[in-house]
Amino acid sequence: TDGTSVTRNQDVCTNGGSIATISSTSGVLYAEIASLTQDDTFRIISLCDGQDENRVSIAYNNVINELSFSCRVNDVNQFVFTKTLADTTSFHKFALSYKLNEFKVYIDGVQESVQLSGSVYPANTLNELTFDRGLSSFPFLGKTKCLAVWKEALTDLELQELTTI
C-alpha cells in the first residue's frame, strides 16, 4: 500500500472450534477486544451451535458503551449480565466462565458478576466459535487482540490473572 490506501477485509473465523475443543458443560470464553466506535450497534462474539438458541456470548449492546454477557440454553437465558464502560473503543479483557450453577464475569482483572444457579448445555451442543450471534446475525465489527476458549471453568485466581491488564 505504498502511497495508496487499501480497505482491509473483515476478519472471519473459519474452523473456529469443534466439539473436541469446546466444552458445552463448562468453559470460558475470553476476549481482548475494543469496539470501532461508541455507538448503538450490536457486535457479538459467541460460542454456539450454529444457531442462536444455544450460545455463550460477549456483546456490545445497542446502548452506547454497554456490554452484555450471556448464556442462553434452548432459547432461554440462564445468565445475563450487563456492564457499562466509560469507553468501549479502548481495549479491555473479558472472561465469561460457565458451568452448572456457576456463571462468572471478569473484566480487566475484576470479578464483576457471579451467579450460583442456572443450567448449561447438553454435552456436544456448542461446536462453533463465531464473530456473530449465530446464523450470521449481528456480526462483530471491532478490534480483536486475542480470542480464546477454555474447555473447563477456570478458578477465580486464574480468571483474575487472565484478565488483568
- Could you read off the pLDDT tens digit of each residue along the chain, which spans 165 residues? 566 665 556 555 554 444 567 999 999 999 999 998 888 888 999 999 988 899 999 999 988 899 999 999 999 999 999 999 999 999 999 999 999 999 999 999 999 999 999 999 999 999 999 999 888 888 998 999 999 999 999 999 999 999 998
* Predicted local distance difference test score (pLDDT) of residue 2: 62
* Predicted local distance difference test score (pLDDT) of residue 146: 96
126, three cell numbers: 456448542
**pTM of this structure:** 0.88
* Predicted local distance difference test score (pLDDT) of residue 41: 83
* Predicted local distance difference test score (pLDDT) of residue 95: 98
53, three cell numbers: 438458541
* Predicted local distance difference test score (pLDDT) of residue 11: 54
